């Protein structure tokens, strides 16, 4: 429902462009925001939405374009001046004053910029108390931020943002790190800002939570607008679905019963992980059979990397991780890798000033000379480009070649279980095709077990025997890829 018809926009963004050197992060973006409206800015990671938000707010200076607030172009003004005109910004990462109480943090946000009111009067305290109650912090006003749960730290950011009664509230990743119950509470809070007549703009890659909340949504990709409209219509837009899912889905799964191991090779049982106070995994259970290709799909921030880092021994967890009947708790990451669970991380972690060959030799350093040569010969068949580039420094390779080298180095360790974290991130279609063929060759000709984490469903599913969908730190669906399109594909966004 559009409750804003007839309202003149309070904020008009026209032709907003932001370049960093040769990279255009935001390109000719235009949008309107009205009082009493919640507007969502969505897009997969790297689409430019956070840069757009920061440029509107004055944290980044725009390369071109206008940001017109109540008839005045504020583009290029510093953030504190824009804030003073009537903007509130809720940042993703809270930075409270840890030695001050919750109430004192809110009072600081209320003080004039000159800070001449060193001894606050009763009216200021009363206003701060009202705001604390307004966002649900009434019971913890006298506590200090380090003692608060994660959700209360997010509430404190909301309190500081609305302290000066802004006309526009910009919220970056409002649902990051929150449980599903907390998402519901925060959604109500944000709705109440709209009901008070404020204009609210949310930036998030969690499409579902945003879609349930916003009046209108603008979907971005590679810095540009794809479409703006009502959330349900935008979600059905073919280009939006292709950007998030990757296109049409083809599958060629092997049935789970075809894998011979009585007990799965790897079992993750009710694993939970916290980063400080934020829950990154909640009672996650998955299993992988010997020789099986399993894909864990989910949007950015769902918990895929956390799951893989936990299996690799990098993070403390509750629950159990069992490999071949043995619990992995207490085993060092190095020993886990040597035992055959090898992760190729999203960040690749190559040695840039070493050659391609030296990077590969590092992966195979535990092998005898004879076996290393055999492994290299096999690898160069899988990725012929690496053979041609052997003497080149790793940092001079293209993104796609670096990805192949990272996978190649992991394969030199002769893994029994290969974990691939977002291998397609930022790669051109021609490289995706090469990676796809290499994965298919692994699947057809080797006994290697693969656990693949991906946002791009059309890359993840053709090679998968089974699929898990990870959403908001929890597994919400499991099944074969053929069923995914029918059952989970519609709800994946």
Please name which of 45, 43, 44, 41 lies closest in space to residue 32, comparing C-alpha atoms: 41
Q: For the segment 309-368, what is each residue's pLDDT rounded down to a tens digit?
A: 999 999 999 999 999 888 999 899 999 988 899 998 887 788 878 888 888 888 888 888
Three-state DSSP class for residue 425: coil
Query: Of 475 and 258, which is predicted with more confidence?
Result: 475
5 has pLDDT over 50: no
pLDDT for the residue numbered 116:
47
pLDDT for the residue numbered 226:
85
Same domain for 369 and 457, yes or no, is yes
Domain end call among 222, 245, 268: 245
DSSP state of 394: G
User: For 156-182, what is the mean pLDDT?
Assistant: 82
Same domain for 217 and 260, yes or no, is no
Q: Any idea what the Cα angle at residue 336 is, between residues 410 and 294, rounded to 5°?
A: 60
Domain end call among 226, 245, 264: 245
Q: What's the longest Cα–Cα distance across the chain?
A: 81
Whether 251 is covered by a domain: the verdict is: no
User: For 197-226, what is the mean pLDDT?
Assistant: 83
Same domain for 318 and 427, yes or no, is yes
pLDDT for the residue numbered 109:
84
pTM over 0.85: no
Same domain for 99 and 128, yes or no, is yes
Share of residues in the chain with pLDDT > 70 (%): 89
Same domain for 218 and 320, yes or no, is no
Same domain for 230 and 305, yes or no, is no
Whether 202 is covered by a domain: the verdict is: yes
pLDDT for the residue numbered 450:
92
Same domain for 35 and 141, yes or no, is yes
Compute the distance between CA of residue 426 and CA of residue 436 in angstroms, rounded to an integer: 15
CATH code at 209? 3.40.50.300
Same domain for 241 and 261, yes or no, is no
pLDDT for the residue numbered 79:
86
Mean residue pLDDT of the chain comes to 83
Whether 2 is covered by a domain: the verdict is: no
Compute the distance between CA of residue 1 and CA of residue 427 in angstroms, rounded to an integer: 38
HSE-up of residue 32 (Cα within 13 Å, Cβ side): 12
Q: List, in sequence order, every residue forming a beta bridge with 220; answer none if it has no partner.
A: 225
Whether 145 is covered by a domain: the verdict is: yes
Instruction: Tell me the pLDDT band of 1, cut-offs 50, 70 and 90.
Output: very low
In the structure encoding, which two tokens stand for residue 6, read together?
A: 């007839």
Whether 6 is covered by a domain: the verdict is: no
Same domain for 333 and 414, yes or no, is yes
Domain end call among 245, 266, 282: 245
Whether 75 is covered by a domain: the verdict is: yes
Please name which of 41, 31, 25 lies closest in space to residue 204, comparing C-alpha atoms: 41
Compute the distance between CA of residue 328 and CA of residue 335 in angstroms, rounded to an integer: 10
219 has pLDDT over 50: yes
Instruction: Tell me the pLDDT band of 287, cut-offs 50, 70 and 90.
Output: very high
- Which residues make Cβ contacts (< 8 Å) with residue 314, sequence separation at least 6? 333
Q: For the segment 405-456, what is each residue's pLDDT rounded down to a tens digit?
A: 999 999 988 899 999 998 887 666 677 778 888 888 888 888 899 999 988 7
User: Structural domain of residue 178, as residue ranges?
Assistant: 11-245
Percent helix / strand / coil, the chain, rounded to 5: 35, 25, 40
Q: For the segment 235-279, what is each residue's pLDDT rounded down to a tens digit?
A: 777 777 766 655 555 567 777 777 878 789 999 999 999 988 778
Same domain for 311 and 187, yes or no, is no
Whether 102 is covered by a domain: the verdict is: yes
Same domain for 208 and 273, yes or no, is no
Compute the distance between CA of residue 307 and CA of residue 453 in angstroms, rounded to an integer: 9
Same domain for 164 and 297, yes or no, is no
In this structure, of 6-10, 104-108, 213-217, 437-441, the range with the lowest mean pLDDT score is 6-10
Compute the distance between CA of residue 376 and CA of residue 374 in angstroms, rounded to an integer: 5
Q: For the segment 11-66, what is each residue's pLDDT rounded down to a tens digit?
A: 999 999 998 877 788 889 999 999 999 999 887 666 788 889 889 988 889 999 99
Whether 52 is covered by a domain: the verdict is: yes
Q: How many domains does the chain have?
A: 2
In sign, the C-alpha dihedral spanning 293, 299, 301, 303 is negative
pLDDT for the residue numbered 491:
60
């Amino acid at each position: 429902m559009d409750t804003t018809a007839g309202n003149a926009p309070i904020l008009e963004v026209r032709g907003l462009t932001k370049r960093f050197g040769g990279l255009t992060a935001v390109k000719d973006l235009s949008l309107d925001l009205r009082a009493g409206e919640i507007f969502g800015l969505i897009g997969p990671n790297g689409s430019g939405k956070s840069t757009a938000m920061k440029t509107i707010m004055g944290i980044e200076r725009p390369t071109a374009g206008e940001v017109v607030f109540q008839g005045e172009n504020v583009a290029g003004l510093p953030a504190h001046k824009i804030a003073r005109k009537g903007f509130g910004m809720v940042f993703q990462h809270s930075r409270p004053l840890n030695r001050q109480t919750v109430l004192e943090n809110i009072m600081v946000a209320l003080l004039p910029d000159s800070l001449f009111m060193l001894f606050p009067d009763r009216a200021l305290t009363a206003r701060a108390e009202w705001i604390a109650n307004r966002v649900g912090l009434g019971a913890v006003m006298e506590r200090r931020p380090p003692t608060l749960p994660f959700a209360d730290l997010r509430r404190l950011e909301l309190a500081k943002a609305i302290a000066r009664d802004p006309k526009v509230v910009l919220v970056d990743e409002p649902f990051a790190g929150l449980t599903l119950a907390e998402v519901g509470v925060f959604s109500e809070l944000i709705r109440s800002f709209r009901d008070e007549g404020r204009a609210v703009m949310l930036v998030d890659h969690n499409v579902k939570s945003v879609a349930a909340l916003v009046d209108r949504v603008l979907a971005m990709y590679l810095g540009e607008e794809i479409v703006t409209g009502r959330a349900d219509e935008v979600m059905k837009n073919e280009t939006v679905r292709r950007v998030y899912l990757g296109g049409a889905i083809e599958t060629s799964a092997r049935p789970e019963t075809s894998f011979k191991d009585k007990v799965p090779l790897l079992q993750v049982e009710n694993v939970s992980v916290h980063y400080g106070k934020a829950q990154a995994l909640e009672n996650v259970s998955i299993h992988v059979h010997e020789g099986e290709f399993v894909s864990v799909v989910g949007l950015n921030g769902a918990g895929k990397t956390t799951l893989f880092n936990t299996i690799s021994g990098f993070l403390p967890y509750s629950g159990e991780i069992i490999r071949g009947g043995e619990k992995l708790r207490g085993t060092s990451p190095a020993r886990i890798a040597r035992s055959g669970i090898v992760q190729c991380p999203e960040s690749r972690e190559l040695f840039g000033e070493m050659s391609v060959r030296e990077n590969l030799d590092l992966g195979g350093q535990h092998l005898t000379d004879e076996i290393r040569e055999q492994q290299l010969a096999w690898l160069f068949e899988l990725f012929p480009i690496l053979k041609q580039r052997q003497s080149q420094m790793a940092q001079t390779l293209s993104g796609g070649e670096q990805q192949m080298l990272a996978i190649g180095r992991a394969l030199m360790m002769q893994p029994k279980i290969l974990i691939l974290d977002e291998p397609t991130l930022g790669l051109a279609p021609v490289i995706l095709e090469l990676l796809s063929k290499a994965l298919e060759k692994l699947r057809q000709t080797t006994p290697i077990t693969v656990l693949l984490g991906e946002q791009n469903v059309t890359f993840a599913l053709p090679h998968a025997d089974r699929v898990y969908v990870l959403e908001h730190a929890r597994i919400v669906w499991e099944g074969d890829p053929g069923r995914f399109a029918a059952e989970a594909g519609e709800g994946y966004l």
